[in-house]
């Protein structure tokens, strides 16, 4: 089946496997198709590269961070919009250094890659709908492969950001377009994983996969896989998700990974309904992430910087509340 076929039949596949959740043969078939497309693109991106992604010498200023947060909160892209955004990224790469004089694309970023992306999404949907298949070994194997492939997609797309020139600013929301080119690229490195993770959430997120997600988190060796798994666990609204986010923060050492965690937690604070206790823990978690990124090694100074950041965060929360016209803060006390 072609990439176009996957896209055209995605709703039908989702509906059919949702109605018939015990079809092991369909799950195995889509897993094999996805494996075949993965082999065709030969990505082979080491997952350790995620820890080496350039996140800039300094974290974005408070003004720049607020612009990106506003852009993220302004609209949550639909599946169709997410696919269009990924297509635009792929097209940008085709126009970039990988393109030959005649317009052909060399390397992995070509049509087989598009088919691989579509097949991975379809396989994720079928796995999400497979709770009546009584074969945990098979489902664990497929889930582990999918997280590995999605990790490669995320890393690959983020790496393409550094290849872009000023034209990347034109594709950004007005709030981000105002920043410098380097700040825009840094912002895009936050936004691109948001799109990829949204697709993963929509296609693979389900409370019924809790035990599989926990199993994989317990064995994951790479921070990018732990990040995807933890975010998927969180987005699936599973219990004790803040514990998982705190554990992820302790295990991640790269500045870029910590930035993604920071913006993830900010998104929860601003977009989800949380009680007072959860809000306090989430704020403290954001403060811990920022402190870990900017620590000078002196507790007194680190604590003062954390407190200053948390004060700015509260002001940003209230500013958002006022723009929404709310009568009561949705962020707790």
Three-state helix/strand/coil letters over the chain: CCHHHHHHHHHHHHHHHHHCCCCHHHHHHHHHHHHHHHHHHCCCCCHHHHHHCCCCCCCCCHHHHHHHHHHHHHCCCCHHHHHHHHHHHHHHHHCCCCECCCCCECCCCCHHHHHHHHHHHHHHHHHHCCCCCCCHHHHHHHHHHHHHHHHHHHHHHHHHHCCCCCHHHHCCCHHHHCCCHHHHHHHHHHHHHHHHHHHHHHHHCCHHHHHHHHHHHHHCCCHHHHHHHHHHHHHCCCCCHHHHHHHHHHHCCCHHHHHHHHHHHHHHHHHCCCCHHHHHHHHHHHHHHHHHHHCCCCHHHHHHHHHHHHHHHHHHHHHHHHHHCCCCCCCCC
Read off the pTM.
0.79
Whether residue 306 has pLDDT greater than 90? no
Whether residue 224 has pLDDT greater than 80? yes
pLDDT of residue 146: 97
Whether residue 67 has pLDDT greater than 70? no
The residue extents of the domains of the chain are 3-214, 239-333
| Of 48-57, 86-95, 316-325, highest mean pLDDT | 48-57
pLDDT of residue 118: 84
């Amino acid at each position: 089946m072609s990439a176009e076929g996957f896209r055209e039949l995605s709703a039908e596949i989702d509906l059919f496997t949702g109605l018939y959740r015990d079809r092991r043969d369909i799950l195995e078939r889509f897993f094999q198709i996805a494996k075949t497309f993965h082999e065709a693109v030969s990505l082979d991106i080491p997952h350790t590269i995620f820890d080496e992604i350039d996140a800039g010498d300094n974290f974005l200023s408070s003004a720049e961070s607020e612009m990106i947060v506003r852009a993220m909160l302004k609209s949550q892209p639909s599946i169709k919009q997410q696919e269009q955004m990924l297509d635009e990224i792929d097209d940008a790469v085709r126009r970039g250094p990988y393109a030959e004089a005649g317009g052909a694309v060399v390397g992995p970023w070509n049509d087989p890659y598009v088919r691989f992306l579509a097949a991975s999404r379809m396989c994720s949907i079928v796995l999400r709908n497979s709770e009546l298949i009584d074969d945990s070994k098979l489902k664990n194997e497929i889930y582990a492969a999918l997280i590995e492939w999605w990790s490669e997609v995320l890393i690959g797309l983020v790496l393409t950001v550094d290849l872009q020139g000023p034209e990347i600013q034109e594709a950004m929301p007005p709030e981000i377009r105002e920043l410098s080119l380097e700040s825009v690229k840094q912002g895009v490195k936050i936004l691109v994983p948001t799109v990829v993770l949204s697709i993963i959430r929509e296609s693979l997120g389900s409370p019924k996969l809790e035990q599989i997600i926990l199993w994989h988190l317990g064995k994951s060796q790479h921070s990018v896989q732990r990040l995807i798994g933890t975010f998927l666990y969180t987005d699936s609204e599973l219990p004790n998700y803040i514990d998982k986010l705190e554990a992820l923060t302790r295990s991640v050492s790269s500045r870029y990974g910590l930035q993604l965690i920071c913006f993830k937690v900010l998104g929860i604070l601003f977009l989800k309904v949380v009680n007072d206790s959860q809000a306090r823990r989430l704020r403290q978690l954001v403060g811990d992430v920022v402190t870990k990124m900017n620590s000078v090694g002196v507790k007194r100074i680190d604590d003062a910087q954390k407190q200053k950041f948390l004060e700015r965060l509260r002001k940003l929360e209230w500013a958002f509340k006022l723009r929404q016209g709310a009568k009561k803060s949705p962020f707790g006390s």
